[in-house]
Amino acid sequence: MTTKDPGVIQSTDRDRIKWQKFLDKCKELKVIPLIRVATVPEGLSWVEPNDYDLIDFANFLGDLKWPLANRYVIFFNEVNRSDEYGGLVNPEIYADILANAYDIFKNVSTDFFILPAGLDNAAPNAKGYIHH
């Protein structure tokens, strides 16, 4: 349950050389980078993020040389699925974390643009999912 997707950075993957190469390659190819932050898998779901994760991500990503002024960061993934988000679907908690991310990242650089996670469009109306 780890990710090898380019542009997805887990809390255990703060390799400055790797991520600077990624951003440099984006510049070379004239591609606008969208970086999605993620925690790590634990059991059958991903660990729920906390403010310490956000501070670490903000400082790490803020230290990198981005190919353009705007720095787009997506926060987590499919938060309408309990297995993608700490084993619990809770929009209020995610909204609080997203608001905290905004404050934390903007404090590091006003060039950060905070983007919410995409939702799982195919999620069923079942336990462990937000009902449609």
Domain positions in the chain are: 12-34+49-76
pLDDT tens digits in sequence order for the chain, 132 residues long: 344 566 788 888 889 999 999 999 999 999 999 999 988 888 877 888 888 999 999 999 999 999 999 999 999 877 777 777 677 777 888 889 999 999 999 999 999 999 998 777 776 666 655 654
Token pair recorded at residue 2 = 């780890």
Whole-Å CA distances, 36 to 11, 60, 96, 106, 118: 11, 13, 18, 16, 10
Three-state DSSP at 109 gives: coil
What pLDDT is attached to residue 119?
A: 74
* Global pTM value: 0.84
Asked if 67 and 26 touch (Cβ cutoff 8 Å), the reply is yes
